[in-house]
């Protein structure tokens, strides 16, 4: 059994998810002989660090993220802080030779992502990024079907991520709406997932034309000491400006000739967490939606014309990784199960000393498309996707 | 009872649908006291003209479309010919002072539509266009909900029309794939429906950026004397070029600030006749899809947060025009029922001598957006929607 | 062309539907060379008879149903009156040698149905019954798949018909709730459809056990001169007893060993007109629901285990009769289109002089199952389905 | 923090699930201050016991289940063995004063369940049963809506559990098909879940009429040393008899007047794990299906008639326990998350020394309905649900 020491920085919800996911790998992938040792966690709020330590079973906790990096038993530094801290922490971790897991979009803006990617690359450490939706068994199966040519040559891709988290104009001006802390708005937050899925399933993007909009330009300011993320203000509360975008749309042309559209919004009604794709080829098509992550709609014409329609596949242990969680068919996985599969892949990568995907190279691929989108917001024209990698 | 004389030109499927639809108005709208008299029909294939006469109950038939226009009892000239004949026929009908129903997109290209619109406008005749999807009871209800402000200020619009009629690369090179006869491809054929719906529900479009593509650039040539439309060739058959587009995508900005995307394709798998929209406002959202035309998905948050979700409305006699066809709830309407509602509105318009919508002005609105899209295909940039009306 | 003279008795909604449906046969089935001549219609309300004559194009109208039967040009007597008049009218029509279309359940109670069936049988006239749901293209396709053995040996059948027409306890005590006029409640009204579908798809029933219940035992009495069917009373209105059942449930064993359940209710919330079946065999399964009549869910395992799921078939012109209404795929049919297919089959039967299905023999098959159900309500045990035919 | 010692007997899939679920309580319910200590696990296959110990973190393992009961630090004995061992183990555990978690249906046949219930009752130990579907957040919400009267007085209940695990006639004759080991077939296996849900949501059952059937009466015998549960034989393999039922159907009358039906099958095609209910009252209705466990379909008429339809609720942190797993809305839970909620409730029960639900009393309630069903299989009549509790 290979045991890998884990240090987690930032013990909010996502830091907890990551910690728990590492712990679960030995149970969900018992044949892998991989084991995570939760060495140390940090949070600048001491109480949060201590609570997380106790709850999740870390050996130590700290308020200094540097302690995590410096700890000799930590092999993986897992970063779950606001985007604004990523550069500094990655730099320190890479210099210390630690392998790095970072949540997308890694940098607040594309250039920052390229800067971070270069730091890790030069240091030669292994990297991994939280594009967790890839790991849904039905998405993995979709990828497989494409790879096997079941859909023929791909022709069209449609992606969307619609969420309601910003729909209420009285929702507080949290860090998500602040460009200094988060960087771009829905571009980094949810378009990143759409673009990673597009690149994962369809291949490299050649060019894009895009627009963006902020539908709710100001929001009530949070009151210090109160919660922010999901809290709601009053109409008379003092307001501040939203400094990043609520909406991004784009037309996309891929290098292999596929055409399509991608669209994301955080100020929409109805979809709760509607991250989905529709992908079409010369021989068939598939649809998937995270709100029904345990299903895949598949269209494969049989030629007889009488029995052709979208087939509703229901997840089961014949699909990738499903059986690591539930036997048989029809007992669905949940959100965090995807994070466990994700954690497994990074532990495996570190155990084998081999860079795997999606690493910083893949998040840079996304950032390069984002960079073209942002240029298009200004130019109003199609923009080629070009390298923003730092030599 | 007001009886209105009808002449129909072109007795293919759509000409038959229109004829039958006029006939049904007196039964479906008995309180309107409107009655259609099927005076004369024409088709350049004599057998087809005669067969249609007999089947549909026209008093006369002819192979000369001019006979229809010249017939003194004909008040409405209904054009259901290929697009390439529209100019000439409309001109003759307008000069004869006849009211005109024409199938979309009216002109093969936007400029031809503006030319046709000007001819009718100058002649002062009433016009009507076959944007039939407007008349689905659930679309009419959607329009009403928007008008009543139930969705608040609109923010996003997504439209699509995906059909499989061109998916098979062995499908013959019919008139639909020939720019000389049809004009643009999916732009005129199905994007016209999407844009009319967008304009109908959301309002005028300010600017667009668009691309187009022909995924299947050549197809087997039809063999004279054999059927074309849905027929299929063999791999070794001689082929000819497809001269219009299979796919159009666009980002759209409306004058009222709404953002969105529209996308159409005839070379896709899965959707049979998937014409749908998703519309979002500051207070709610709605989705509709023609494949389930008797349903409307409605999201209207109640404020309590526990009972909010898309409501599946099922058509019934409380919604516009449904009760003219079926009583109660849950007995759905079919495709042609929409055409009957359409026919009713034009008969009413003619009976009252009042131009109604959608007439040539509305199809010109669509053509103006199409014109901007086509310019954008060349320019690669956002193009403002500008008037192409002829003074 | 064969022209058949039609007389319709009872010009409420259903009488109008039938009249219109006969008229449409020549258009929807032009190759059949069948033509209906609307000779005479009757209604005991003179205004209704005259209005229907004018609207639907009958040559004559009358307030005496006997006039319809006596008219020498009438070949088909179409009965669309309340159930309580069926015996008398069928008797007179049969004695006059007229062919008879009657709405289900034909008799108010099973014995009355057997009485009526015997009358027609002895007279040797052709009969037909309004089990219209059989004629939905996707149901016809389902029947074909079963006949071809695609589902293997059938094993389970589940049927239901849930409607909301009686859900409101303030809904008036209309004729539907009066056993003297209607006979049984949901048994005759909607279980008749479920059982016909069960017999049509699965075969004869061996035995049943059943219960029934009246959830709303009294309702406001209608006020003379006001409408009744869909009208609503006030809490203080005088009330009268509901004399037939709101709910019927049954377990069913078919002669071929199939097991299943059937359940109907008119006092339910949610389903508008949810008439559906789920049918299972040793090789596959199918589901259908009238609320989405243009779809069929089909499960046919492929053996590879990776692509098996319910296939959503969307109606199109490859399925029975769809192409008589709309070309291509995805343009759905509506409720009345099923009635046109129904009318076609009876016209064809009369033109050819051959009894077809479903005739009075088939409605008697249903009545025999109903008879066993009613016996089971009393006995509380399984009851064999036995012949109630009169020699 | 209260720490409770856990011993698990039977380390197949379900024993692992239970062990893991106890472990997760401290993370998922951190405010509860409950902590599970995995003391000892047993399996008669030594390798399996040791592997489970290591993987799940038990302090000890054994091949003697008696060791688990005798261990002084074990407070909860968790039984996850075949049904045939339940009596003996429960007896020993109860005599040792240990609290007991047992998987449903507890006894192989209803009488055995009553025997087991009496043993635990007399010993005064706390009990709990794995009716895990209760704990789905959307089911908990459904229960709440009923309790609040949102649906008015309940009128109809429909329950079903359809699974494909026995559909393949070449599926081996595993323990599930052997009455000596498992007891009844689908009655105990999946009807138990349906009936518990019925009792949980609707209340006590007054009487039932039921039938059962074995569609596949013999199956290939497993070959010693090879796996059994999901394995498949060859047509020429020696076969043995299936000694319990594949199918059960029943009509149900509840004490509060609710009518309905329940139906289960393991030899069906299409449904993977379709456990669902439809529940109707005088004011509304709800549908739920485990295949989409993160959704609830709710119908609550608003009175205006225009916006009434089934609302698709998507699970989120406003619903019971969802937020213990995922924040926000639309990030779904998986199968095992329900088991963690289940484990939490039993830990809490033990910590507080209070019997909670569902315990052995509730599984006896189910067994009493099962007993009536089985009597009805023989008698062919309605059978009252009567007490089978042992004084």
Among the partner-chain residues C20, C314, C327, the one whose CB lies closest to the CB of B27 is C20
Cβ–Cβ under 8 Å, residues B267 and C311: no
How would you label B43-82 residue by residue, b for 16+ Cβ within 10 Å and e otherwise? Answer: beeeebbbbbbebbbbebbbeebebbbbbeebbbbbbbbb
> Which pLDDT score is estimated for A231?
81
What are chain B's partners, defined as 3 or more CB pairs within 8 angstroms?
A, C, D
**Residues for chain B: how many in total?**
391
**What is the band of A226 on the pLDDT scale with cuts at 50, 70, 90?**
low
How would you label B297-329 residue by residue, b for 16+ Cβ within 10 Å and e otherwise? Answer: bbbbbeeeebbbbbbbbbbbbbbbbbebbbbbb
> Which pLDDT score is estimated for C338?
98
CB pair distance less than 8 Å for B141 and D300: no
Chain A residues within 8 angstroms (CB to CB) of chain D: 13, 16, 20, 26-27, 30, 51, 55-56, 163-165, 230, 271-274, 290-294, 314, 316, 325-337
Q: How many CB atoms lie within 10 A of CB D255?
A: 12
CB pair distance less than 8 Å for C319 and A306: yes
Place of tokens 């609707």: D202
Task: List CB contacts (< 8 A) between B300 and chain D.
Answer: 307
Q: What's the pLDDT tens digit per position in B2-37?
A: 999 999 999 999 999 999 999 999 999 999 999 999
CB pair distance less than 8 Å for C280 and D270: yes
Q: What's the pLDDT tens digit per position in B259-276?
A: 999 999 999 999 999 999
Nearest chain B alpha carbon to C16 = B27
pLDDT at B228 over 70: no
Sign of the four-CA dihedral C114, C119, C125, C127: negative
Q: What's the pLDDT tens digit per position in A255-280?
A: 999 999 999 999 999 999 999 999 99
Smallest CA–CA distance, residue C34 to chain A, in Å, is 29
Cβ–Cβ under 8 Å, residues B285 and B151: yes
Among the partner-chain residues B26, B27, B292, the one whose CB lies closest to the CB of C292 is B292
Nearest chain D alpha carbon to C169 = D282
Pair of tokens at residue D311 = 């609302």
- Indicate the DSSP class of residue A150: T
CB pair distance less than 8 Å for C156 and D247: yes
> Which pLDDT score is estimated for C223?
79
Place of tokens 């309630």: D365
Q: What are phi and psi of D369, to 5 degrees?
A: -70, -40
CB pair distance less than 8 Å for B270 and A158: no
pLDDT at B388 over 80: yes
Nearest chain C alpha carbon to A318 = C306
Q: What are phi and psi of C39, to 5 degrees?
A: -80, -55
Q: What are phi and psi of B87, to 5 degrees?
A: -55, -55
CB pair distance less than 8 Å for D274 and A330: yes
Residue numbers of chain D with a pLDDT score lower than 70: 226-230
CB pair distance less than 8 Å for C326 and B335: yes
> Which pLDDT score is estimated for A230?
61
pLDDT at A223 over 90: no
CB pair distance less than 8 Å for B312 and D312: yes
Chain D residues within 8 angstroms (CB to CB) of chain C: 155-156, 158, 169, 209-211, 213, 215, 247, 249-251, 253, 257, 259-261, 263, 265, 267-270, 280-285, 287, 297, 299, 301, 309-310, 379-382
Closest C-alpha to A80, from A35, A124, A21: A21
Identify the residue among D292, D295, D296, D311 best suited for mutation to test binding to B, counting B beta carbons within 10 A and taking the highest.
D311
Among the partner-chain residues B251, B259, B268, the one whose CB lies closest to the CB of A156 is B268
Nearest chain A alpha carbon to C306 = A318
Q: What's the pLDDT tens digit per position in B55-100?
A: 999 999 999 999 999 999 999 999 999 999 999 999 999 999 999 9
**What is the rounded distance in angstroms from the CA atom of residue B308 to the CA atom of residue B323?**
29
Residue numbers of chain C with a pLDDT score lower than 50: none
CB pair distance less than 8 Å for A284 and B268: no
> Which pLDDT score is estimated for D1?
86
Q: Residue C329 forms beta bridges with which residues?
A: C316
CB pair distance less than 8 Å for A20 and D13: no
> Which pLDDT score is estimated for D162?
98
Task: List CB contacts (< 8 A) between C312 and chain A.
Answer: 309-312
Cβ–Cβ under 8 Å, residues B80 and B87: no
Cβ–Cβ under 8 Å, residues A25 and A10: no
Among the partner-chain residues C307, C312, C313, the one whose CB lies closest to the CB of A313 is C307
Place of tokens 């008698």: D379
- Does pTM surpass 0.95? yes
**What is the rounded distance in angstroms from the CA atom of residue A88 to the CA atom of residue A64?**
13
CB pair distance less than 8 Å for A299 and B269: yes
CB pair distance less than 8 Å for C333 and B337: no
**What is the band of A227 on the pLDDT scale with cuts at 50, 70, 90?**
low
List, in order of start, the domains of chain B with CATH numbers.
2-132 (3.40.50.720), 137-292+294-333 (3.30.360.10)
Task: List CB contacts (< 8 A) between B318 and chain D.
Answer: 305-306
Sign of the four-CA dihedral A101, A105, A106, A110: positive
Q: What's the pLDDT tens digit per position in C47-66?
A: 999 999 999 999 999 999 99
CA distances from A54 to A22, A60, A65, A77 (A): 16, 9, 18, 19
Number of inter-chain CB pairs under 8 A, B vs D: 39
> Which pLDDT score is estimated for D227?
61
CA distances from B210 to A251, A311, A373, B109, C83 (A): 8, 32, 15, 16, 61
> Which pLDDT score is estimated for B222?
87
Smallest CA–CA distance, residue B18 to chain C, in Å, is 13
The secondary structure of chain C, three-state, reads: CEEEEEEEECCCHHHHHHHHHHHHHHHHCHHHCEEEEEEEEECCCHHHHHHHHHHHCCCEEECCHHHHHHCCCCCEEEECCCHHHHHHHHHHHHHCCCEEEECCCCCCCHHHHHHHHHHHHHHCCCEEECCHHHHCHHHHHHHHHHHCCCCCCEEEEEEEEEECCCCCCCECCCHHHCHHHHCCCHHHHHHHHHHHHHHHHHCCEEEEEEEEECCCCEEECCCCCCCCCCCECCCCCCEEECCCCCEEEEEEEECCCCEEEEEEECCCCCCCEEEEEEEEECCCEEEEEHHHCCEEEEECCCCCCCCCCEEEEECECCCCCHHHCCCCECCCCCHHHHHHHHHHHHHHHHHHCCCCCCCHHHHHHHHHHHHHHHHHHHHCECEECCCCCCC
Average pLDDT, chain D: 96
Of residues B228 and A184, more confidence is placed in: A184
**What is the rounded distance in angstroms from the CA atom of residue C187 to the CA atom of residue C197?**
14
CB pair distance less than 8 Å for B329 and C272: yes
Identify the residue among A285, A301, A307, A329 best suited for mutation to test binding to C, counting C beta carbons within 10 A and taking the highest.
A307
Determine the average pLDDT of the residues in B219-240: 82
pLDDT at B332 over 80: yes
Cβ–Cβ under 8 Å, residues B359 and B377: no
> Which pLDDT score is estimated for C15?
98
> Which pLDDT score is estimated for B303?
81
ipTM: 0.96
> Which pLDDT score is estimated for A229?
56
Q: What's the pLDDT tens digit per position in D328-382?
A: 999 999 999 999 999 999 999 999 999 999 999 999 999 999 999 999 999 999 9
Q: Given the DSSP bridges, would you call strands B154-163 and B259-265 parallel, antiparallel or unpaired?
A: parallel
Smallest CA–CA distance, residue B339 to chain D, in Å, is 24
**What is the rounded distance in angstroms from the CA atom of residue C320 to the CA atom of residue D15?**
53
What are chain C's partners, defined as 3 or more CB pairs within 8 angstroms?
A, B, D
Q: What's the pLDDT tens digit per position in B127-182?
A: 999 999 999 999 999 999 999 999 999 999 999 999 999 999 999 999 999 999 99
Q: What's the pLDDT tens digit per position in A292-331?
A: 999 999 999 988 889 999 999 999 999 999 999 999 999 9
Cβ–Cβ under 8 Å, residues A216 and A244: no
CB pair distance less than 8 Å for B273 and C164: no
CA distances from B144 to B296, C75, D124 (A): 13, 47, 65
Among the partner-chain residues A306, A310, A319, the one whose CB lies closest to the CB of C312 is A310
A388: exposed, middle or buried (Cβ count in 10 Å: 0-12, 13-18, 19+): middle
CB pair distance less than 8 Å for C328 and B271: no
Determine the average pLDDT of the residues in B343-365: 98
Q: Residue D128 forms beta bridges with which residues?
A: D101
> Which pLDDT score is estimated for B230?
61
Reduced DSSP (H G I as helix, E B as strand, rest coil) percent helix, strand, coil of chain B, to 5: 35, 25, 35
Sign of the four-CA dihedral B343, B347, B349, B355: positive
Task: List CB contacts (< 8 A) between C307 and chain A.
Answer: 298, 300, 311, 313
Smallest CA–CA distance, residue D162 to chain C, in Å, is 11
Task: List CB contacts (< 8 A) between C301 and chain A.
Answer: none
Average pLDDT, chain A: 96
Sign of the four-CA dihedral A361, A363, A365, A368: negative
**What is the rounded distance in angstroms from the CA atom of residue D45 to the CA atom of residue A34?**
24
Q: Where are the alpha helices (DSSP H) in D44-85?
A: 46-56, 65-70
* 3-class state of residue A188 by DSSP: helix
Pair of tokens at residue C381 = 């045990």
Smallest CA–CA distance, residue C298 to chain A, in Å, is 8
* 3-class state of residue A236 by DSSP: coil
Task: List CB contacts (< 8 A) between B301 and chain A.
Answer: 269
């Amino acid at each position: 059994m290979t045991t890998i020491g884990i240090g987690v920085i930032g013990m909010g919800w996502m830091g907890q998810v990551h910690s728990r996911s590492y712990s679960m790998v030995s149970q969900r992938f018992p044949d892998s002989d991989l084991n995570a040792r939760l060495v140390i966690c940090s949070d600048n709020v001491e109480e949060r660090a201590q609570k997380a330590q106790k709850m999740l079973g870390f050996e130590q906790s700290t308020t200094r993220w540097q302690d995590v990096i410096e700890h000799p038993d930590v092999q993986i530094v897992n970063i779950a802080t606001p985007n604004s801290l990523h550069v500094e922490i990655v730099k320190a971790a890479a210099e210390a030779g630690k392998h790095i897991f970072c949540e997308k979009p890694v940098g607040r803006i594309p250039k920052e992502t390229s800067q971070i990617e270069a730091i890790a690359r030069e240091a030669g450490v292994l990297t991994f990024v939280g594009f967790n939706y890839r790991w849904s068994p039905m998405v993995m199966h979709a990828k497989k079907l494409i790879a096997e040519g079941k859909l023929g040559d791909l022709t069209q891709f449609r992606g969307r991520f619609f969420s309601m988290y910003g729909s209420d104009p009285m929702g507080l001006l949290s860090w998500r709406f602040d460009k200094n802390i988060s960087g771009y708005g829905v571009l980094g937050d949810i378009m990143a997932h759409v673009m990673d899925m597009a690149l994962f399933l369809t291949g490299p993007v050649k060019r894009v034309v895009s627009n963006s909009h902020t539908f709710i330009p100001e929001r009530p300011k949070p009151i210090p000491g109160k919660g922010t993320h999901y809290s709601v203000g009053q109409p008379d509360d003092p307001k501040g400006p939203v400094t990043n975008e609520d909406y991004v749309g784009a037309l996309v042309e891929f290098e292999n000739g596929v055409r399509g559209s991608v669209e994301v919004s955080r100020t929409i009604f109805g979809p709760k967490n509607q991250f989905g794709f529709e992908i079409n080829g010369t021989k068939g098509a598939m649809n998937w939606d995270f709100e029904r992550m345990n299903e895949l709609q598949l269209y494969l014409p049989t030629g007889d014309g009488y029995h052709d329609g979208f087939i509703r596949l229901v997840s089961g242990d014949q699909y990738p990784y499903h059986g690591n969680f539930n036997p048989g068919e029809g007992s669905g996985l949940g959100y965090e199960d995807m994070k466990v599969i994700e954690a497994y892949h990074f532990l495996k990568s570190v155990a084998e000393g081999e860079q795997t995907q999606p690493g910083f190279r893949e998040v840079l691929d996304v950032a390069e498309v984002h960079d073209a989108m942002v240029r298009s917001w200004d130019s109003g024209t199609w923009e080629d996707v070009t390298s923003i990698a730092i030599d």
